[in-house]
């Protein structure tokens, strides 16, 4: 679903392709986004013919914290324990670029006016890019929720989409954040414990395989994502470097009076164009490669979470079994133990089934998305490489043809 609207920001198609099953009974998109100092306000627009909603088309304004609230609501909901919950969108982070803008504004007397203007332009473009990315991330989150047959029926989701007024969800304060961290630690410790427990063995080969695969995959994709980020950053630095070079050559050229002048000016122009190309290369890489890797990193984390939940359920089941046996031997509280065991068994099985389905979905989704992005990346890189070769050739010819 491409987003197109008459709002302030023109959006780009989301780079992470989510294969939506073309079910148009619920369409969600972020039609507008406004950045106000610290916060970003998203306008979420919904078109739906489902009976739950009172209107056919409506929109609300939401902030990042409300997205997080929605995500957490899903995670904590026991019913969805067997599903991969789409990862929450990251916080809009303009810190880095704001810092740079400030540093630039503080003024470095050694750079000329043109240089300053160019750098400012670059920073503004960066800011804009970050902004667009965060909008896309939020949108993808909602769209995946809308596409999932189970998740879309959540009551909280409807509230999120429809409730006109502020959801009055405050951001997590420090205590809650800390609590969140602790919970994560506990969870990973728990996981480690469970896997080492002797009595527990994975009955299903599929899950065993998936587990090892996911663990490995997750670490590696995290690695790749980090490094891709660094590559993109270097590219950007490179592009930025061309600015002072071009400016210096320009001033040199202005000073000289002979043919050297023409050469210098031409060189200055060349560097300027090269810079734009390099900048574009960097941003494309960022979009296609880094973002995709990052998204799948988070997605694989979510898949891992799912597996963990299942494992937990399995452990519970085992425990319940043991408790049942113990109760049977003691012939006390057999009923409760039995029902408990039943419950656990059911839960476990339910989880296993849905997990299987989810994981296969995850895989196919991943393959498709990777394919699309890699193809686009290759095409773009090719295009840019050709353009820069052409530029180099032309400049060379002009420089040679002069004297």
Partner 1 sequence: MAAEREPPPLGDAKPTDFEELEDGEDLFTSTVSTLESSPSSPEPASLPAEDVSTNSNGPKPAEVVLDDDREDLFAEATEEVSLDSPEREPILSSEPSPAVTPVTPTTLIAPRIESKSMSAPVIFDRSREEIEEEANGDVFDIEIGVSDPEKVGDGMNAYMAYRVTTKTSLSMFSKSEFSVKRRFSDFLGLHSKLASKYLHVGYIVPPAPEKSIVGMTKVKVGKEDSSSTEFVEKRRAALERYLQRTVKHPTLLQDPDLRQFLESSELPRAVNTQALSGAGILRMVNKAADAVNKMTIKMNESDAWFEEKQQQFENLDQQLRKLHASVEALVCHRKELSANTAAFAKSAAMLGNSEDHTALSRALSQLAEVEEKIDQLHQEQAFADFYMFSELLSDYIRLIAAVKGVFDHRMKCWQKWEDAQITLLKKRETEAKMMVANKPDKIQQAKNEIREWEAKVQQGERDFEQISKTIRKEVGRFELIKYWEAFLPEAKAIA
By beta-carbon proximity to partner 1, the closer residue of 49 and 374 is: 374
For residue 56, which of 162, 145, 181, 178 has the smallest C-alpha distance?
Answer: 162
By beta-carbon proximity to partner 1, the closer residue of 197 and 254 is: 254
By beta-carbon proximity to partner 1, the closer residue of 152 and 304 is: 304
By beta-carbon proximity to partner 1, the closer residue of 288 and 312 is: 288
Distance from the Cα of residue 275 to its chain's centroid: 28
The first and second tokens of residue 287, run together, are 């979009």
- Smallest distance, partner 1 to C-beta of residue 358, A: 16
- Smallest distance, partner 1 to C-beta of residue 381, A: 9
Q: How many Cβ atoms from other residues are within 10 Å of residue 101's Cβ?
A: 17
Q: Residue 16: CA atoms inside 13 Å, Cβ hemisphere, count?
A: 28
The CA angle 284-66-50, to the nearest 5 degrees, is 90
- Smallest distance, partner 1 to C-beta of residue 271, A: 10
- Smallest distance, partner 1 to C-beta of residue 213, A: 6
Provide the binding-site residues for partner 1, judged by CB under 8 A.
110, 213, 216-217, 220-221, 223-224, 227-228, 230-231, 233-235, 237-238, 241-242, 244-245, 248-249, 251-252, 255, 257-260, 263, 267, 270, 363, 366-367, 370-371, 374, 392, 395-396, 399-400, 403
- Smallest distance, partner 1 to C-beta of residue 361, A: 14
By beta-carbon proximity to partner 1, the closer residue of 5 and 17 is: 17
- Smallest distance, partner 1 to C-beta of residue 305, A: 19
H helix intervals, 21-154: 64-76, 95-105, 113-147
By beta-carbon proximity to partner 1, the closer residue of 220 and 332 is: 220
* Beta strands 26-36 and 57-63, pairing class: unpaired
The dihedrals phi and psi of 112, each to the nearest 5 degrees, come to -80, 175
* Residue positions counted in the chain: 403
SS3 332: coil
């Amino acid at each position: 679903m491409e987003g197109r609207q008459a709002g302030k920001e023109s959006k780009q198609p989301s780079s992470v392709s989510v294969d939506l099953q073309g079910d148009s009974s619920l369409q969600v998109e972020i039609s507008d986004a406004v950045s106000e100092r610290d916060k970003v306000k998203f306008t979420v627009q919904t078109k739906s013919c489902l009976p739950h909603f009172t209107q056919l088309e409506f929109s609300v304004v939401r902030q990042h914290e409300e997205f997080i609230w929605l995500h957490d609501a899903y995670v904590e909901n026991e019913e969805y324990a067997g599903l991969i919950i789409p990862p929450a969108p990251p916080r809009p982070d303009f810190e880095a670029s704001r810092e740079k803008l400030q540093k630039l504004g503080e003024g470095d007397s050694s750079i000329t006016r043109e240089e300053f203007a160019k750098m400012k332009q670059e920073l503004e473009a960066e800011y804009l890019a970050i902004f667009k990315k965060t909008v896309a991330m939020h949108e993808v989150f909602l769209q995946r929720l809308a596409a999932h047959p189970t998740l879309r029926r959540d009551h909280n989701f409807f509230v999120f989409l429809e409730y006109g007024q502020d959801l009055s969800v405050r951001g997590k304060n420090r205590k809650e954040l800390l609590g969140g961290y602790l919970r994560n630690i506990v969870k990973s410790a728990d996981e480690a414990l469970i896997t080492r427990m002797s009595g527990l063995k994975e009955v299903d080969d599929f899950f065993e395989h998936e587990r090892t695969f996911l663990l490995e995959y997750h670490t590696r994709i995290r690695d790749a994502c980090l490094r891709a980020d660094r590559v993109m950053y270097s590219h950007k630095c490179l592009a930025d470097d061309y600015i002072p070079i071009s400016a210096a050559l320009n001033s040199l050229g202005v000073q000289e009076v002979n043919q050297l002048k023409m050469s210098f000016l031409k060189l200055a122009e060349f560097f300027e164009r090269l810079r734009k190309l390099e900048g574009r290369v960097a941003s494309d890489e960022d979009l296609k490669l880094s973002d995709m890797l990052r998204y799948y990193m988070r997605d694989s984390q979510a898949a891992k979470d799912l597996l963990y939940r299942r494992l937990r359920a399995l452990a519970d089941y085992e425990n319940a079994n043991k408790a049942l046996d113990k109760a049977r031997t003691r012939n006390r509280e057999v009923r409760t133990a039995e029902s408990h065991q039943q419950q656990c068994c059911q839960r476990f099985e339910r989880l296993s089934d849905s997990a299987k389905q989810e994981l296969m979905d995850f895989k196919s989704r991943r393959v498709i998305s990777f394919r699309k992005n890699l193809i686009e990346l290759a095409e773009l890189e090719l295009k840019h490489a050709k353009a820069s070769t052409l530029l180099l050739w032309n400049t060379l010819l002009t420089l040679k043809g002069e004297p």
